[in-house]
Structure 1
Amino acid sequence: MKRSRPHSPFGKPMLFLAWLSMLALLYLYFDDKLERQHNPNLNPMIQGQELVLQQNRQGHYLVVGTINGQEVTLMLDTGATTTSIPAHLGPALGLKAGYPFPVSTANGSITVYRTTVETLTIGPLTLYNLEASLNPGQEDDTVLLGMNALRHLELVQRGQTLTIRK
């Protein structure tokens, strides 16, 4: 005759907590991995006055920078004439909407609003009094860093690496 041991009242809750903990750790691991694929430059390499960026899986260069001291995600966009900031970020960045003007985008024509960024910083590089536009058509939080900013910087691309210096 086989004897059965008494079951602990903590067995099932502990097993549930173990599974929950494992799922939480897997979520954190893969969330970080996906974020690094989207933006591999969360901790960009800084060499003196140079910034070295890696392309993401889509071939874009993203980097965390600041506008007027507030952290933003910047995407370098050589196809954009002017730096374009999602309009919903304007108040948090201390930006005021100026006069409206039409622009042609990949998604068609849209009216944007002129603004001036006092300081824009990417790693060791800072640009001052940069003209930009507040774009009500941009729904995400990514700032498109256009040629009006990039023309002040030297860009050297080799393979999937971009070196930026002033």
Structure 2
Amino acid sequence: MQNNGFIAVGTLAVVVLFFGLRGFDDDGRYNPLREPEPLRVEMMDGAPSEIIISARRDGHFMLDGRINGRPTRMMVDTGASIVTLRESDARKAGIQPSERDYRIPFQTANGEVLGAPATLPALEIDELILRDLAVVVLPDDKLSTSLFGVNGLNRFERRETTRDKLILYTN
């Protein structure tokens, strides 16, 4: 019976330590809410050189871009090989796949789903514009948020990830 009390106290200590450490950012500052800083763009010679994205409290990196001038939020997902748009976000870009366009099978966390291939004319990330980006469109009920996949990440010269920040280098 005494071992159960010891195990309970030990478990509680581990949980408190885990959540307490998550409250510290990469610079060692205590921030229990870990509210992300807004997307920051470093400029060099009038052009974006770095895009700095802070992690959300849940550890995910969210990218705020614009499609046809309208805000579009995307989760950076290194497990997604291609930029994946929800139908509603694709419509912002003027992409409206027909039912027969949904022919390519994709494995998602929720199982297999059919997607429609397309090309996004332009995705704006602050001052940076990614043109002619291959995307796949999934029905809104199959995808909770659009994903910025590896083919989008590969448009950058390099990337660096820490616990709190994702830095995308343009040159």
Output aligned runs, 1:87-166, within 5 Å: 87-97=87-97, 99=101, 100-136=103-139, 137-140=141-144, 142-153=145-156, 154-166=158-170
- Aligned-residue offset at 1:102: 0.9
Distance 2:142 2:128 in 1: 25
Distance 2:56 2:69 in 1: 25
Query: Unaligned stretches of 5+ in structure 2?
Result: 1-33
**Pair 1:61 & 2:61 matched:** yes
CA 1:47–1:103 in 2, change beyond 3 Å: closer, same or farther? same
Distance 1:165 1:130 in 2: 18
Alignment-mate amino acid for residue 162 of structure 2: R
* TM-score (norm: length of structure 2): 0.67
Alignment-mate amino acid for residue 44 of structure 1: L
SS of 2:142 mapped into structure 1: coil
Alignment length (residue pairs) = 127
Measured against aligned partners, the alpha-carbon deviations of 1:126-164 in whole angstroms (never above 9, x if no partner) come to: 211111111014353x32001111111121113311111
- Aligned-residue offset at 1:121: 1.5
CA 1:92–1:67 in 2, change beyond 3 Å: closer, same or farther? closer
Alignment-mate amino acid for residue 146 of structure 1: G
Task: Answer yes or no: is the 8 Å Cα contact 1:96–1:115 preserved in 2.
Answer: no
Tell me which residue corresponds to 2:70.
70
Measured against aligned partners, the alpha-carbon deviations of 1:19-70 in whole angstroms (never above 9, x if no partner) come to: xxxxxxxxxxxxxxxxx94xx25x3222112111111111110121112332
SS of 2:151 mapped into structure 1: helix
Query: Unaligned stretches of 5+ in structure 1?
Result: 1-35
Task: Answer yes or no: is the 8 Å Cα contact 1:125–1:165 preserved in 2.
Answer: no
Task: Answer yes or no: is the 8 Å Cα contact 2:84–2:138 preserved in 1.
Answer: yes
CA 1:55–1:45 in 2, change beyond 3 Å: closer, same or farther? same
Distance 1:85 1:58 in 2: 21
Alignment-mate amino acid for residue 73 of structure 1: R
* TM-score (norm: length of structure 1): 0.69
Alignment-mate amino acid for residue 102 of structure 1: P
Tell me which residue corresponds to 2:84.
84
The structure with the largest alpha-carbon Rg is 1
